[in-house]
Amino acid sequence: KLIWILHGPNLNLLGTREPGVYGSTTLSQINEDLERYGLDRGIKVDSFQTNHEGALVDRIQSAGPAGVDFIVINPAAFTHTSVAIRDALAAVAVPFVEVHLSNIHRREAFRRHSYFSDLAVGVIAGLGPAGYRLALDYAITTVEADKA
């Protein structure tokens, strides 16, 4: 079983980027935590971050051939702009949970709309790095159930 964690633009700056909004945990800390959490449960968790829309589209397209069972994605700013990434997720039809560190509903109005939420199995926003953990926990439970 394989779960992918995908991070969009500027999330490589976590730790120093607007800490009042996004907290002080770095992206490597988040990824290491998730990878270890998966391994402890016998599930391979691979993480990927890019600042480039096309790179995220390419990565998502390769999820089918790579045998990915579930995706946890924080599309970051692309949440509010990218029909291309939405279409890629629809094309591969791998179930996914959408995660945001901040609560996008209590910020600027333009962050309230997501191109992903209606395709997602679920959405977590505002819980910081714990949101990724909760999403991964859900993903693991789901892919484990599929084993039967």
For the annotated catalytic residues, the residue numbers are: 22, 100
CB of 77 to ligand DQA, least distance (A): 4
Answer yes or no whether residue 51 interacts with ligand DQA by CB under 6 A.
no
Q: Centre a 10 Å sphere on the Cβ of residue 74 and count the other Cβ atoms it contains.
A: 24
The stretch among 37-45, 58-66, 94-102, 140-148 that binds ligand DQA (CB under 6 A) is 94-102
Token code pair at residue 1: 């079983």
Q: What angle do CA 73, 100, 54 make, to 5 degrees?
A: 40
- H or E, element range at 6: strand 2-7
Provide CB contacts within 8 A for 89, sequence distance 6+: 60, 71, 73, 96, 116, 119
Query: In whole angstroms, what separates CA 142 from the centre of its chain?
Result: 16
d(CA 44, CA 41): 9
Answer yes or no whether residue 14 interacts with ligand DQA by CB under 6 A.
no
Residues 56-75 interacting with ligand DQA (rule: CB under 6 A): 74
One of 89, 101, 135, 136 touching ligand DQA (CB under 6 A)? 101
Query: Does 111 carry a binding-site annotation?
Result: yes
CB of 105 to ligand DQA, least distance (A): 10
Answer yes or no whether residue 76 interacts with ligand DQA by CB under 6 A.
yes
For ligand DQA, which is the closer residue by CB, 25 or 61? 25
Token code pair at residue 137: 């926990």
**Footprint of ligand DQA (CB under 6 A):** 10, 74, 76-77, 79, 100-102, 104, 111
Per the annotation, binding residues for substrate are 74, 80, 87, 101-102, 111
